[in-house]
Amino acid sequence: KPMYVCVLVGSLRKASFNGMLANALISLAPSSMRLDIVEIGGLPFYNEDLDTAAPPAQWTAFRQRMKAADAVLFVTPEYNRSVPAVLKNALDVGSRPYGRSVWDRKPGAIVSGSPGAIGGFGANHHLRQSLVFLNVPTLQQPEAYLGHVDKLFDEHGKLAGDGTSKFLQAFMQAFANWAETVRPK
């Protein structure tokens, strides 16, 4: 049975380079994985007052969807050297109610992308800080900090060069192999 991987993208804009990266990663993933982008832009801001017996429907749907996932792939830009708020909100929503986190023991991997040269390193590693606490074992190698993402795609949003495709394909294969060894059986 293929591993079901939820993909969370840390940018909401239509022409997002990280959105393009997510699509490229999905198409380059090995056949042992089935991947879906899960929309996080519609999740109301986390508020403990709303986390009652009847929480917002979007939270419940998101939590159920993430619970069903065998692994999670984060593809994110860097905002002010950190994780975009929309992605942090999704982490927070999934982490509650206390004791019922959707993240616990779910293997994860991070790809960060930026038009800048540092490739979203700050976001990538701030995200890792939260994932340590959330008990998401996270792929360490290979790392994926993609700089100059605005130069990687053609006008159809497809990867233009061979080098990045090969790298991302190897990344997904490594993620698949490793996630298979750590996911709860």
Interaction site with ligand FNR (CB under 6 A): 11, 13, 16-18, 77-81, 114-116, 118, 120
- Taking the least distance from each CB to ligand FNR, the nearer of 10 and 94 is 10
Least distance from ligand FNR to the Cβ atom of residue 104, Å: 28
In the complex with ligand FNR, the residue whose CB is nearer, 23 or 101, is 23
DSSP SS3 for 89: helix
Shortest distance, CB of residue 99 to ligand FNR, whole angstroms?
Answer: 33
Q: Could you give the CA distance from residue 105 to residue 72 in angstroms, rounded to a whole number?
A: 11
Return the bridge partners of 71, or none: 5
Residue 55 CB, shortest distance to ligand FNR, in Å, is 28
CA distance 152 to 163: 10
Tell me the closest approach of the beta carbon of residue 185 to ligand FNR, in angstroms: 35
Which amino acid does the sequence have at 30?
A: P
Rounded Cα–Cα distance for residues 78 and 176 (Å): 25
Complex with ligand FNR: residue 102 or 144, whichever CB lies closer: 144
Of the pair 13, 166, the CB lying nearest ligand FNR is at: 13
Closest to ligand FNR by CB, 80 vs 141, is: 80
Q: How far is the CB of 95 from ligand FNR (least distance, A)?
A: 23
Q: Which is nearer to ligand FNR, 77 or 107 (CB)?
A: 77
What b/e readout covers 107-130, taking b as 16+ CB neighbours within 10 angstroms?
A: bbbbbbbbeeeebbbbbbbbbbeb
| Residue 9 contacts residue 75 (beta carbons within 8 Å) | yes
Alpha helices in the chain (DSSP H): 17-28, 57-67, 85-95, 121-133, 162-182
Minimum distance from residue 42 beta carbon to ligand FNR (Å): 17
